[in-house]
Amino acid sequence: MTPSETRAIVSLSLLAAFVDGEKHERERAEIKRIAEGLSQADGVQLPTLYQDVLMKRVSLASVAGELKSADARQLAYEMAVCVCDADGTQSQAERLFLADARTALGLDTPAATQFAQQAEEIASVPLAPSAAAAPAVDGAALDQAILNAAILNGALELLPETLSTMAIIPLQMKLVYRIGKAHGFELDSGHVKDFLATVGVGLTSQYLEQAGRKLLGGLLGRVGGGLLGGLGKQAVSSGMSFASTYALGHVAKRYYAGGRTLSTQMLKEAFASVTQEAQGLQTRYLPQIQEKARTLDAGKVLAMVRGA
């Protein structure tokens, strides 16, 4: 992909992120932080793109015109779909935007429709089977479940498919749900999303950061190339998903075990502290993350999100 195509893909993703006009100010601030943090890569000035989108200096038509190759147009569409689905099923504004994007990109194809359906399925999967029973609290088992989830999400971060990146969020939500249920709390998706937002994990912004790092590192979208020898590209994302999942799990365990008495500030501080600890652990578990990545494909990822 050319730098202009990369810029166009990021611009389309940002257009998708703001299309419904209902993003919380906290989420907008996170997206701005990400744009500034990934400020220069492969000739892409993300802060400038962010401002161009907010000031409406770019349009769907102008972005589509920059995408010359079929692969770039398909990847741009996939990222836009995942951005719209990252915080749950699509709003009416998002559905209309994606329909316009398909037309502008010349992607009114069965493959584009199938991708959108798969993404929507991931976004709408319930946190747990309706008849799930609450397990007994077993601290060691929960610790192992947290580590397993962190390794799995670290592995998903190494895969080039856009749907693999999108699956990280619902798997994190399922982990928080499981921990809450183990401590006697019946949670719904709204509560879990609020918990993630409180500790500092945005949904749309997290997807944008993970996918953006992959895209700018040349890893995202190269389906069929295996892992591109890609297990060596761990530096692209610095183990973000391993650390954030590990921290979410342990902070949730502390929060629900204590009867949900921790303040917002305490939750944020605990999450930052455990994230730092997890970043140190990531190197130790990298071989397991890499091995897990070798066993995964899009079908298995979808099955895991469903809970199969």
Greatest Cα pair distance in the chain: 56
Q: Which helix (H) or strand (E) holds 59?
A: none
Per DSSP, 41 falls in state E
And the tokens for 57? 């200096």
Which phi-psi region, left, alpha or beta, contains residue 41 (left: φ > 0; alpha: ψ -120 to 50)? beta
Please spell the DSSP secondary structure of 111-143, one letter per residue: HHHHHHHHHHHHHH--SS-TTPPPPPP-HHHHH
CA distance 187 to 178: 9
Please spell the DSSP secondary structure of 70-110, one letter per residue: HHHHHHHHHHHHHHHHTTSSPPHHHHHHHHHHHHHHT--SH
Beta bridge partner(s), residue 45 = 40
pLDDT in tens, the chain (308 residues): 788 888 899 899 989 988 877 666 767 777 877 777 665 555 667 778 888 888 889 999 999 999 998 888 999 999 999 998 988 878 888 999 999 999 999 997 788 888 888 888 888 888 875 444 455 567 889 999 999 999 999 999 888 888 888 899 999 999 999 999 999 998 898 999 999 989 988 888 888 888 887 777 766 665 444 444 444 444 445 578 999 999 999 999 999 999 998 999 999 999 999 999 999 998 899 999 999 998 987 778 888 888 75
And the tokens for 111? 């493959």
And the tokens for 65? 């015109």
**The amino acid at 168:** I
109 and 119 Cβ atoms separated by less than 8 Å: no
The pLDDT of residue 227 is 41
- What own/partner pairs with CB < 8 Å and gap ≥ 24 does 108-111 have? 111/74
Q: Exposure of 226 by Cβ count < 10 A (0-12 exposed, 13-18 middle, 19+ buried)? A: exposed
Crossing angle of helices 240-257 and 139-156, rounded to 10°: 160
The pLDDT of residue 63 is 93
CA distance 155 to 196: 21
Q: What domains sit in the chain, N to C, each tagged with a CATH number?
A: 3-123 (1.10.3680), 125-306 (no CATH)
